[in-house]
Amino acid sequence: MNAHLPLIADIANEQLAQALQHKLDHKTKPLGSLGRLESLALTLGQILGTETPALEQPQMVVFAGDHGLAARGVSAFPSDVTWQMVENFLAGGAAVSVLARQHGLALTVVDCGVARNIAPREAAPGQPRLLLRKVAPGTQDASQGPAMSAAQCAQALNNGAELVRDLPGNALLLGEMGIANTSVASLLLARLCGLSLAECTGAGTGLDAAGIERKRAVLQQALDVNVAATAPLDALAALGGYEVATMVGAVLQAAAERRVILVDGFITSAAVLVASRLQPHVLQRCVFAHRSGERGHQLMLAQMQAEPLLDLGLRLGEGSGAALAWPLLPSACGILREMASFEAAGVSGQTAA
C-alpha cells in the first residue's frame, strides 16, 4: 500500500497580510497593545484567507495507539493504561473530555493501534465518539527492528487523511494517547533533527533519574538498529507509532484543506515535525498551543520556529493544552471581525509623539 500524500501549497499572501495588519493597527486601542493576540489574529486570517476569519465546528481528535517499546520499561505506566484512558475519554472523565465539553469542542477518539479491542459505539449528540482505524494491535518493539512496515505506515497515513476529510469545520485540534509515545517523539526528534538522545529524552509519564537513563539506553538501541531509516517516512515507520503516523496523515489533509491546526504538546508536535519534513508549508497552517514541560519539546518547537501561546508546565498530552489554548483563537478572530476602528467609533486616534 502506498500513502497518498497531498501537496501543500504556499498560502503566503503579502497583500492579505498587509490588509490584516492595517485593520489591526486601526482598531480602538494603542498600536500593538493586544500583543500576541494580534499576531494570532494575523495568522488565523492568513490561514483562512480572509480579513474576517471565523472558526466553525472545531474538532478535537485524540489519536490512540500502543507501542512495543513499552515492554522495555520506557514508561512509568503499564501499556494497559492506553485502552483504559480511551474508555475514560469516552466516559467523559479525562482532562481533555472536561475541557472539550467546557469549550464546545466536538471530541473524537481514534483507535489507531490500541493493543486491546475496544467496542465500537455511536455517541449521543454532544458526546465523544470512537472511530476504529486500527492498523494492528500495537507496533513492534523499535529497539529490535522497525516498529511497523512501510505498508502499515502508509495505511495509517491514509487513515488519518480519510478521517479528516469526513470531519466538518475548519479547525482541527490534535490530541493523542499511547503509553511510551514520548519515547517515539524523542526518537523522531533525534533522528530527523540530528540531536542527541540526552537532549531529546525526558521523564515522560514520571520516570525518576535512573528510569530516564534506562529509557535513553533503550532508545539508543532503537536508533542503532534502525540506523538506515533517515528519510521522514522511513523514520516514521521504523521509530513511530500508529497514532503518530495517523496524525501525520491527518495533519497533511487538514493543511491541504486549509484548516487551522492547533497543535498540543510533544507528541503531536512530533507528528507535525514529520509532516513538515514532507511538506514544509504545513507549518503555515499550524498554531502551537503551549510549551510542554517535557524535555525535548522546546528543542522541537525551535526546529519548527514555533512560538507557542501558553507556557503552563503541562505534560499530560491528550490534547489538554490545545483545549486550554483554544479560547484564544475565537477571541483573536472576534477582535478582527467585531472590534471597532477609530474612524467607525468616532474615537480620536493616537497622536504623533
pLDDT of residue 138 exceeding 90, the answer is yes
* Per-residue confidence (pLDDT) for residue 75, from 0 to 100: 85
pLDDT of residue 122 exceeding 80, the answer is no
Grid coordinates representing 117? Answer: 479491542
Residue-wise pLDDT tens digits, 44-80 = 999 999 999 999 999 999 999 999 999 898 887 889 9
Q: What is the DSSP string of 239-279?
A: H--HHHHHHHHHHHHHHHTT-EEEE-SHHHHHHHHHHHHH-
* Per-residue confidence (pLDDT) for residue 345, from 0 to 100: 77
- Specify the CATH number for 59-325; select among 3.40.630.10, 2.60.120.260, 3.40.50.300, 3.40.50.10210: 3.40.50.10210
Q: Which whole number is the average pLDDT over 123-151?
A: 92
pLDDT of residue 353 exceeding 60, the answer is no
Fold category of 14-54+334-345 in CATH = 1.10.1610
Res. 343 pLDDT band, cuts 50 70 90: confident
pLDDT of residue 121 exceeding 90, the answer is no
Identical fold between 14-54+334-345 and 59-325? no
Q: Which whole number is the average pLDDT over 313-341?
A: 97
Q: Which whole number is the average pLDDT over 120-125?
A: 70
Going by the DSSP 8-state scheme, the letter that residue 222 receives in this structure is: H
Contacts of 353 (CB under 8 A, 6+ apart): none
Contacts 24+ apart (CB under 8 A), 23-30: 23/51, 23/336, 23/341, 24/335, 24/336, 26/341, 26/342, 26/343, 26/349, 27/335, 27/339, 27/340, 27/341, 27/342, 28/339, 28/340, 28/341, 28/342, 28/345, 28/347, 29/339, 30/350
Record the pTM. 0.95
CA-to-CA separations, 16 to 13, 35, 119, 330, in angstroms, rounded: 5, 20, 48, 19
pLDDT of residue 326 exceeding 90, the answer is yes
Q: Per mean pLDDT, which range of 18-27, 102-111, 112-121, 223-232 is the poorest?
A: 112-121
Provide the residue ranges of all domains of the chain, joining segments of one domain with +.
14-54+334-345, 59-325
Going by the DSSP 8-state scheme, the letter that residue 230 receives in this structure is: -
pLDDT above 70 covers a percentage of the chain that reads 97
pLDDT of residue 191 exceeding 70, the answer is yes
Residue in the structure block whose three cell numbers are 497593545? 33
Q: What is the mean pLDDT of the chain?
A: 94
* Per-residue confidence (pLDDT) for residue 205, from 0 to 100: 63
pLDDT of residue 207 exceeding 90, the answer is no
pLDDT of residue 226 exceeding 70, the answer is yes
Active-site positions? 318
Answer yes or no: are the C-beta atoms of 296 and 199 closer than 8 Å: yes
Smallest Cα–Cα separation from 107: which of 159, 162, 156, 174?
A: 174
* Per-residue confidence (pLDDT) for residue 2, from 0 to 100: 78
Q: Which whole number is the average pLDDT over 107-123?
A: 90
> At 138, which amino acid appears?
G
